[in-house]
Structure 1
Amino acid sequence: MLTSCDPAISDVLEGETNVVEDQTNTGTTPPEPENSNVGLYLTTSNQSELFRLQTESLPLANNNSNFSISVDSDVTYQEMDGFGYTLTGGSALHLNNMGASQRADLLNELFNPEEGIGLSYLRVSIGASDLDAEPFSYDDLPVGQTEDLNLDHFSIAKDQENLTPILKEILAINPDIKILGSPWSAPSWMKTSNSTIGGSLRPQYYSVYANYFVKYIQAYQSEGITIDAITVQNEPLHDGNNPSMYMEANDMATFVKNHLGPTFAAENTQTKIIVWDHNADVTSYPISIFNDPAANQYIDGSAFHLYGGSINELSQVHDAHPDKNLYFTEQWVSSDGEFAGDLAWHTREVIIGATRNWCKNALQWNLVSNSQLEPHTPGGCTQCLGAITVDGNTVTRNVGYYIMAHASKFVRPGSVRIGSNYDADLPNVAFETPEGKIVVIVLNNSAVNKPFNILTSEESISTSLAAGAVGTYVW
């Protein structure tokens, strides 16, 4: 049984404490319930409990008529790569501006699985995202030069100001963390718009852009940073962001099969190629690329966001091509949101929904913002709330921190999703860790307190969650 909770993980606010109710047999002298060795980490919608290990022991399951979540470790699904966020340029800036000791403490809390919440997967932008102070690529040209076919001006110098130093400090804490790179745009001179905003990749630069990816991966490797995977284009059907680039499915297939894939093969680049990286409502995009055998051979899988469509639509991609992996790579939390609603929605749709629909990871959007929600590019997101807010050395943990902590600390890389029955009032997902532990994440999606049971082949328990509460149960 888990016996302690590092106070650095959870700042508990004043308020009513949620307790787990025992379900006891009726009778004149009820017997004392037998207790289990199951630990419960709890976050409540009123913030009285914030990812706090409950000290009251959970009773073994008793004879009752409450709904039961039946966990079956003999039914297995995908192996997990990890949970985390995007380390944007702005996130790295705020972290790098902290004092060295304060930053070290915060990074340890975020990335150490024993002493903190154990984030295990990061996404970074290839060049700028809209949460950098200004748009840039790794091959921006001096005035008067119109192309750079040999990429002689290629440089990751802007990343070396904040991003790569922070990544190195993270890797010192967790050398096995996986890093995914995603471009918001190719260099402007390669695009039909000649701008950081919109436009498509000119076909005459397909091979040059493939080499651009290789140079990026090699430049990061020279810094001691391995890029595990890349997506070909962030949100390829959204060309209004700054930066952004438009890319139809047939163009992405052509780029991958004739240029990026062969270039990776020729250079012996082991970085995975992932397509789509946009919303759940256009599953036809990645499926059409997978249907092209010449492109298919180079592609590991597809990535999704949930700004459109249903999370359950992701299983259509798995069903069409079960040999291809799925990833959930972005979902923002708005600064205008409220804790209870965001806790429930993101836990239900991202932590539970994405993993129940075959995703090997689950990532929220930006890891860090400041209280002014800066920096951002002109036209970039002005309401993107980080998982944590950092102002100087002052750190505030926001709802996105607790959403991710419920999975990242216990569902370690190599864990396998296992069978569990779903209920609209008690959405849940179950995993078996590499050490053989069972982890079950449950949301009370109703407006009332919900007693229920969790049945496993080991210890079964009776428990309850307050309305809107999230519990991670660890065997």
Structure 2
Amino acid sequence: MRRTALSLLAVGSLVVGVAGPASAGDRGEPQAQVWVTTPDRAELLQQRDPVAFERGGSDLTTIVVDPNQRFQTMDGFGASITDSSASLLSALPAAARDDAMRSLFDARDGIGVSFLRQPVGSSDFTAEAEHYTYDDVAPGATDLPLEHFSIAHDEEQILPLLREAKRLNPAVKVMATPWSPPAWMKTTDSLVGGRLKDDPAIYDAYARYLVKFVQAYTSAGVPIDFLSVQNEPQNRTPDAYPGTDMPVAQQEKVILALGPLLKKASPRTKILGYDHNWQTHPNDAANTPPGEDPATDYPYQLLSGPAATWIAGTAYHCYYGNPSDQTALHEAFPTKGIWFTECSGSHGPTDTPEQIFRGTLTWHARTIAIGTTRNWAQSVVNWNIALREDGTPHLGGCGTCTGLLTIADDGTVRTDAEYYTIGHLAKFVRPGAQRIGSTSFGTTGWNGQIMDVAFRNPDGSTALVVHNENDDPRSFAVAVGDRSFEYTLPGGALATFTWPDSRALRDVPRQLDLSGATATASLASADAGLAVDGDASTRWSSGAAQVPGQSLTVDLGRPTLFRQVAVDSGDNLGDFARGYRVEVSTDGRRWREIAEGQATGQLTTVTVRPTLARHLRITSTATAGSWWSLADIRLYR
């Protein structure tokens, strides 16, 4: 098979992968294009030979992609052009800056960044000598009419870069977030720490301040799609950088004042609440003033209160908790969206660049690129889009943060791990894409297995992002309907597979919802319900070598019509039943057999005559030295 050439765009030491021409797979079976990044930098968004789908299944661990299952719609993927990032990019020679911007925002010559989260005023990543907002006045003075409001600071470097980003990628969406209101609005008369003054006039002024910002940016050619009212509102002790302790009650008051004004001034702009960690950090809880609620359920309170009418959903950060917290919130408030809006790579004081790249790539791949999107995130946004090797410039705050681009003192630009974790999404998953069903076996806790997430683009094409959590190469299969292909990824590698809409891949059986099902097993070695929880990263296991008669019984909760049974042993290699029998019952007492046979690999799919039953029993009929594991039992109609 002829290898497709990979074009390279060099900017100093910056190397950007560019998709080569698609292979003519439509003359036979459909083909998937493949791009890979490895932790040793041997491949950086490297396009490999395409791989063809073939009829039939595989004995390998199998990712089953199900386009019939639809989840959240994606808004985009990216980072932030902070004041620090803007100063570095602006200081580059014009040609190098243009190349760097193309590498970020152009979907062909770069990765197609499609979402930017912009600070409203100063953050810790500020290149200035002092922190600032857009309405700073002398100490002790106030400006309730906002007569001193101006975004002139941003016109120097930030806005020109934002306009260029939108020129390179018109689909870019922009979110805005303040780290602090102007000091004169706060109890401390300082941008660092403190709260808003609990005064209706201040809430009104702050709401008008945010609206004026949205209007000014829109007039400057950068419309604001999303707006939160406070970055990390539970961070009560910011380290020498702007921050505001904003309890739930104060955020509600701000949003209640802001909502009607924003609806009139900028109907496109959605308000996002919270904008902080998946869970309340213990330090934030410990710093709660005596007698006050630490609000460990902050987003739940916010979405249950009067401001919820104006809130499109919740924004989350990565610095404490787990992406699964997003799913818990989604289940509590299914009509409200979830956006993941900040996570920075970081490193220890003695880590080498090689260690930083490997650790950041693998953690961000499983936790951010895949973990957040499998848990309802509509965006994936890192922090700084560009920093120096030493994490500067910054004014207070993080001294070990990394960016998508690293800019050296001599003006050379290097793409780093966050560039690739975002790139494996942004380059191939278009705004408006929907996440679709795919079985995934890895976890955010690094269990050494295969983890993935899949998307259906507006043009009907599919993008599947796969991460090998093992340090050694792993082989697996990808199946869509009755076709599949096999692939091997190096240890720790991140890959994206794409394939166009194809008639051959449209005939996919419809998976049935088993959310009400319960299960029991003849061996109480593990929770049998893990086999029917719709999560292939969990499993029921026999806890003993296979012998005939071991069984798992499922109560579907109601009579259910199905034509296909998938018995998936997941990524626990060798733990499949060597022989099996499938029986059904309407009452749980009288059983009839509908299938039996031998299995040869991790996924066994049994097609039966249309069957109506409430109970399903799968029994092992052979002997083997390995345990019997069931990661997922699925029924299809």
Q: TM-score normalized by structure 1? A: 0.90
Question: Does the CA contact (< 8 Å) of 2:469 and 2:491 recur in 1?
Answer: yes
Secondary structure (helix, strand or coil) at the match of 1:203 reads coil
Counterpart Cα distance in 1 of 2:374 and 2:255:
29
Write the distance in 1 (CA, Å) between the matches of 2:461 and 2:477: 18
CA distance in 2, matches of 1:82, 1:280: 20
1:390, CA displacement in angstroms? 1.7
Indicate if the aligned counterparts of 2:72 and 2:378 stay in contact, CA closer than 8 A.
Answer: yes
2:379 to 344, 351, 361: 361
Aligned to 1:25: none
Give 1:385's match in structure 2, choosing from 398, 402, 420. 402
Whether the 8 Å CA contact 1:73–1:419 is kept in 2: the answer is yes
Q: Distance in 2 between matches of 1:74 and 1:63?
A: 19
Residue in 2 aligned with 1:341? 359
2:338 paired with 1:326: yes
Give me the whole-angstrom Cα distance separating, in 2, the residues matched to 1:155 and 1:78. Answer: 37
C-alpha displacement of 1:61? 6.8
* 5+ residue gaps, structure 1: 14-33
Distance in structure 2 (CA, Å) of the matches to 1:330 and 1:185? 17
Q: Is the 8 A contact 1:44 1:50 kept in 2?
A: yes
Partner letter of residue 6 of structure 1?
A: S
Contact 1:61–1:453 at 8 Å: present in 2 too?
A: no
The answer on whether the counterparts of 1:36 and 1:461 sit within 8 Å (CA) in structure 2 is no
Letter in 2 for 1:471: A
Letter in 1 for 2:260: P
- Confirm or deny that 1:398 pairs with 2:392: no
Q: Which residue in the other structure is 1:286 paired with?
A: 299
Larger Cα Rg: Structure 1 or Structure 2? 2
Cα distance in 2 for residues equivalent to 1:370 and 1:388: 8
Residue 502 of structure 2: aligned partner: none
CA distance in 1, matches of 2:86, 2:277: 26
Structure with greater contact order relative to length (CA < 8 Å, sep ≥ 6): 1
Q: For residues 482 and 339 of structure 2, what CA distance do their matches in structure 1 show?
A: 31
Q: Which residue of 2 aligns with 1:151?
A: 146
Secondary structure of the corresponding residue to residue 427 of structure 1: strand
Q: What does residue range 35-434 of structure 1 map to in structure 2 within 5 Å?
A: 37-55=31-49, 57=51, 60=54, 64-133=58-127, 134-143=130-139, 145-204=140-199, 205-241=202-238, 242-257=241-256, 259-282=257-280, 284-292=297-305, 294-336=306-348, 338-377=356-395, 379-391=396-408, 392-424=410-442, 425-434=449-458
Structure number having the greater strand percentage: 2
Separation in 1, partners of 2:266, 2:343: 32
Mean Cα deviation higher: 350-359 or 332-341: 332-341
SS of the counterpart of 1:180? strand
3-state SS of 2:346 partner: coil
Cα distance change of structure 1 residues 183 and 54 upon mapping to structure 2, 3 Å threshold: same
CA deviation map 1:408-439 (0-9, x unaligned): 10001011100011202111000011111111
Inter-CA distance 61–450: structure 2 relative to 1 (3 Å threshold): farther
Offset of 1:299 from its aligned partner? Answer: 0.7
In structure 2, relative to structure 1, the CA distance for the partners of 1:442 and 1:308 (3 Å cut) is: same
Change (3 A) 1:454 1:403: same
Query: Residues 48-99 of structure 1: CA distance to partner in whole angstroms, max 9, x if unpaired?
Result: 1111001364564765421100000000001100100011111111111111
Shift of 1:46: 1.7
Residue type matched to 1:8 in 2? L
Aligned to 2:486: 462
**CA deviation string 1:317-344 (max 9, x = no partner):** 1111111110000111114362222111
Report the AA paired with residue 316 of structure 2. F
Other structure's SS at 1:189 match: helix
Structure 2: stretches of 5+ with no match in the other structure: 18-27, 281-295, 349-354, 443-448, 500-637
Amino acid at match of 2:302: I
- Counterpart secondary structure, 2:148: coil
Q: Residues of 2 paired with 1:12 and 1:386: CA distance? A: 16
Q: Output the amino acid matched with 2:193.
A: G
Count of matched residue positions in the alignment of Structure 1 and Structure 2: 451
Q: TM-score, normalised by structure 2?
A: 0.68
Q: CA deviation at 1:250?
A: 2.1
Q: Is 465-474 or 334-343 further displaced after alignment?
A: 334-343
Query: Is this contact kept in 2: 1:214–1:269, CA < 8 A?
Result: no
Aligned match of 1:22: none
CA contact (8 A) 1:58 1:463 kept: no
Q: Distance in 1 between matches of 2:34 and 2:136?
A: 51
Match in the other structure for 1:29: none
CA contact (8 A) 1:444 1:468 kept: yes
Distance in 1 (CA, whole Å) between partners of 2:313 and 2:156 is: 32
Is 2:230–2:274's contact at 8 Å kept on the other side of the alignment?
yes
User: What are the Cα deviations for residues 171-209 of structure 1, in whole angstroms up to 9, with x where unaligned?
Assistant: 211222100000000111111111111101112211000
Moved more, 98-107 or 282-291: 282-291
Q: Distance in 2 between matches of 1:221 and 1:12?
A: 31
CA positional deviation for 1:2: 10
CA distance in 2, matches of 1:203, 1:351: 39
Q: What is residue 8 of structure 1 aligned with on the other side?
A: 9
Taking the aligned partners of 1:265 and 1:438, their CA distance within structure 2 comes to: 35
The aligned amino acid for 2:76 is: G
Secondary structure of the corresponding residue to residue 250 of structure 1: helix
Amino acid at match of 2:164: E
Shift of the 203–61 alpha-carbon distance from structure 1 to 2, 3 Å rule, reads: farther
Structure 1 residues 140, 458: CA separation in 2 closer, same or farther (over 3 Å shift)? Answer: farther
In the superposition, relative to structure 1, how do residues 372 and 338 fare at CA in structure 2: closer, same or farther (>3 Å)? closer
The 1:342–1:4 alpha-carbon spacing in structure 2 relative to 1, beyond 3 Å, is same
What is the percent sequence identity of the aligned residues?
A: 36
Q: Deviations over 1:242-289 (max 9, x none)?
A: 1100111122122212x1112223435431100111011147211211
Letter of the 1:322 partner, please give it: P
Contact 1:59 1:463 in 2 (8 A): no
Contact 1:249–1:288 (CA<8 Å) still a contact in 2? Answer: yes
The equivalent of 1:472 in structure 2 is 496
How many angstroms does 1:441 deviate by? 0.5
- Please tell me the residue identity of whatever aligns with 2:106: N
Q: CA deviation at 1:35?
A: 7.7
Letter paired with 1:40: V
